[in-house]
Structure 1
Amino acid sequence: MDLALAPLVAALDIAAALSFAVTGALVASRKELDILGFVWLAVITGVGGGTLRDLLLGLPVFWVEDPTPVLVCLGTALAMHFGAHLMEYRYRYILWFDAFGMALVSVVGTLKALDAGAAMPVAIAMGVITANVGGIIRDTLGQEPSVILRREVYVAASMLGAATCAAVDAFGLPREAAALAGFAAAFALRILALWRGWSLPAYRSRPGRANPPTRL
């Protein structure tokens, strides 16, 4: 990895792990799990997307090289186990922390793929994968309706953030500017969608075409 980029990506990985770990722990609190349930959901949500990203890119898994993100997830799980009751409207907090984490990892996945030499479409895909896999695992294990399968602007927000980051980087601007622009685009779209109730058009089932009569 570019040595100039490494500190930025590492810091964003830790911040994203923290944000997603909070959402995993909040799901555990909604399900009234024990401390190990908090730890499991916090860790798997915090590092799940980044793990798949690094495996697909053929890179060393980020938390194996430096266990700080896992330690942050563990600390978050413990803190939330004793403090989740202070958040009265827990699902609202899940959505906000999830939006923040999604925006962060959309940028991290994109930058890391670009630095690994991936083409722009692949880098954008890595940003989207990194942003969504952790939440999918969290919702599946927590038996929550997955935000990916609901009519919400979520994948689209992560795609916008990843594409913005890649586009700004393509113009030769500093990576910090690309990261900030991508984060702002993803986070703003997700929050606006939650606030305004936006959703993408859904497929509507309709009768198929009638088969013409078969002629002998």
Structure 2
Amino acid sequence: MNSMIAIVAAYLIGSVSFAVVVSRLFGLSDPRTYGSKNPGATNVLRTGNKAAAALTLLGDGFKGWLAVWLAQTFQNQYDLSDSVVAMVGLAAFIGHLWPVFFKFEGGKGVATALGVLIGLNVWLGLGTFVTWLVVAYAFRYSSLAALIASLFAPFYYGLLFGARVELLAVVIMSALLIYRHRQNIANLMAGKESRIGSKAKKPAEDKDDHAHNHAHGKKAHKKH
């Protein structure tokens, strides 16, 4: 029973979408309505508000770490196994992907996954983050960096701890992260993927541009 409560609680923690919450606090548009329509730090950055993007990144990472930290802190008191702690991390990650508080419309889980990995082991999280950082810096594609880092995460876990049962949670998390990036994979292959820092027009701006072009077309037609 304690294990189930811990897993459900972790899912609820993960269901707090900081991209949506922070955007509302900053008076920004809902990140699910522009750009990639992904409620994550990279998409929030497309608004040009770096502070909002940074808070989103920290919040999403923090909730993954917090879920694991709480499970570890009360592990002995409530007789939680290491496997349950790993499942708690996975539950928080799944909560981010499909948050119950936001109609199950969640992000792709990069920051939350990193928070979970840091919670499980600092070196595991650090190694995965450095992998993401190197690829992102070299190619300027957040999605590509996330995909490569997610492939290396289970490898790093195996190097640190061997083939333990908890490795399965990391593998599932990596597989889900890749699945959530399936459109990005298609965009990368087609050369259409947005680079880090590129801005996307908001829906309102698109409408204004359309109205302006329509009006300009009418004037040109009259002159003609």
The reply to whether TM is greater than 0.5 is no
Band of TM-score, shorter chain: 0.3 to 0.5
Q: TM-score, normalised by structure 1?
A: 0.36
Q: Which has the larger radius of gyration?
A: 2
Q: TM-score, normalised by structure 2?
A: 0.35
